[in-house]
Homo-oligomer: A and B are copies of this chain.
Amino acid sequence: MIYGDLEAILRAHAMRITACRIDVLDSFLGTGHALSFKDLEGKLTQYDRVTLYRTLNSFIDKGIIHKIFSDSGFISFGICYDTCSPHHHHHNHVHFKCDACGNIECLPSYHVPVPEISGYKITEANLLVNGLCSKCISN
């Protein structure tokens, strides 16, 4: 992605522009799927693990990325599509995890069907779907 665009995203969220943040943001925008901490750690070896953790946490706080909890117990991070305000994420898209390649994708065009549960008040719903992604299904 063009460097100026990355800078603009950080500025739009009132964040200082640092090399680490630019690189992490670029990683998210340059891939079609969610990233785990390990993905980033393996790719951006020039930064300390702690800095990467803090970068991810500040991106979550600012509403730039969101956590994805998969059945592996590992947490992945995906770019936010709709407007997530600081400290408040609004996601209603489906998450897909491919059991072959292990990649997790956000499917922003697939909304989570929220069931009515009598006697309960529902505020949020997360749907994780497992299977084979389009790439792995054709191999």
Binding site for B on A (CB under 8 A): 67, 69-71, 73, 75, 94, 96, 99, 107, 110, 112-115, 117, 119-134, 137
Instruction: Give the complex CA separation of A122 and B121 in angstroms.
Output: 29
Nearest first, the 4 closest Cβ-Cβ pairs linking A and B are A119-B134, A122-B131, A124-B130, A121-B132
User: Which B residues touch A73, using CB under 8 A?
Assistant: 67, 69, 75
A107 to chain B, nearest CB (A): 7
Does the CB pair B119–A137 fall under 8 Å?
yes
| Distance from A88 Cβ to chain B, minimum over Cβ atoms (Å) | 13
Contact: B122 with A129, CB < 8 Å?
A: yes
Residues on B with beta carbons closer than 8 Å to the beta carbon of A71: 67, 69, 126
